[in-house]
Structure 1
Amino acid sequence: MNSSSQPVFIDFEASSLDLISSYPIEVGVCLPDSSTHSWLIKPHVLWSDWSESAEEIHGISRQQLIEEGFEISKVVREMNTLLSGDIFCDAWTFDSFWLHRLFKAAKAKPAFHLDSISMLLNSEQINQWQNVRQLVINEMAIVTHRAANDALILQETWKRVQHIE
């Protein structure tokens, strides 16, 4: 875990949920002080997968990525500058795939280690997670399926199941 007593959370949005051809389109992190950072990612020339249903969920168009997205090398460089130690996600299978795809495209290695949020929770907290997460979403009234917001939701849910104010 990072030097702070609270973990760092990360979330990805992707072109689809296909674990062969999908790629990351947005990455967001929430730091221990609750500050968030996010990057729209300009697709690599070889990344062509696109799901209209995924676009309906996250609300990010491929054209928006082309026009507003950051170059992969910039995203990776900024992530490596900002992050170290263990970083936690709630969908490890997908998030680790997208993290790997992002860094491979940049020909770089992450300066941090991605792990599942389940590693931070006991069985009681795992059982509470979905209900508490839904309460957090309702109370925060923020848009979901945007990477930084979802990382912030992870942090707030973690705090609540840990009984941290």
Structure 2
Amino acid sequence: MFIFLDNEASSLNVESYPIEIAWVGEDGRSESFLIRPEPGWTDWSEEAEALHGLSRDTLMREGSPAALVAQRFLAATENCRIVTDAPAFDRGWLKRLCGVVGEKEPAVHPVLEAWVEALRLAHGSASAEEDATLLAQVRIREEKRTAPRHRALPDALELWRIWKDLRDGVT
């Protein structure tokens, strides 16, 4: 089962941490959390804040404890294949989040894997030529994708919607 993941973060620096996380299952059910920064999480980028619109004060007031979010995420995604459009960044942010509860972050895969698999299931491709045609369809879909909103839930839902459309044969 695929889980479509997106994170927003304090910055794109090495010391960044997740401030918002959302995931969507194949059935379209989703969860989203603002994350209250841990005491040692001090990195902050004004540029990132301008993109996602979340202030550190908002996170301190409205965010859930990182440990609670990590436990919920790990429970909800157990035995699932997690896909994202930014695996390298998301892997690092999940490492920070899961580390709060002493757990290792789960593997994260490029969302293209899910999209190609959806096309194969919908079209039953078997040959290299058919696979090339399907990959071209995925590229077209990616180009048509709406611009990221820089909020975790709408971005995760967009990844899921593309997968669902590809799986259902919607062009």
Is the TM-score greater than 0.5?
Answer: yes
Residue 132 (structure 1) aligned with residue 144 (structure 2): yes
Residue equivalent to 2:161: 156
Instruction: Name the amino acid aligned to 1:99.
Output: L
Shift in Å, 1:104: 1.4
Shift in Å, 1:8: 1.7
For 1:163 and 1:35, locate their aligned partners in 2 and report how far apart those are by CA, in whole Å. Answer: 17
Shift in Å, 1:22: 0.8
Q: CA RMSD in A?
A: 1.9
For 1:39 and 1:13, locate their aligned partners in 2 and report how far apart those are by CA, in whole Å. Answer: 10
For 1:48 and 1:129, locate their aligned partners in 2 and report how far apart those are by CA, in whole Å. Answer: 38
Moved more, 77-86 or 146-155: 77-86
Contact 1:27 1:40 in 2 (8 A): yes
Residue equivalent to 2:96: 101
TM-score for both structures, normalised by structure 1: 0.82
- Count of residue pairs brought into register by the alignment: 151
For 1:104 and 1:128, locate their aligned partners in 2 and report how far apart those are by CA, in whole Å. Answer: 37
TM-score for both structures, normalised by structure 2: 0.80
The correspondence for 1:50, drawn from 39, 44, 51, is 44
Alpha-carbon deviations, 1:82-102, whole Å to 9, x = none? 112211111011111111111
Residue 144 (structure 1) aligned with residue 149 (structure 2): yes
For 1:23 and 1:102, locate their aligned partners in 2 and report how far apart those are by CA, in whole Å. Answer: 8
Structure 2: where are the runs of 5+ without partners? 117-133
Shift in Å, 1:30: 0.9
Could you tell me the percent identity over the aligned residues? 35
Instruction: Name the amino acid aligned to 2:49.
Output: E
Alpha-carbon deviations, 1:13-69, whole Å to 9, x = none? 000111x11110000001122122111111111111111111111111100111111
Shift in Å, 1:123: 2.8
The 1:163/1:128 distance shift into structure 2, 3 A limit, reads farther
Shift in Å, 1:163: 4.5
Instruction: Name the amino acid aligned to 2:36.
Output: K
Residue equivalent to 1:123: 135
Larger Rg: 2
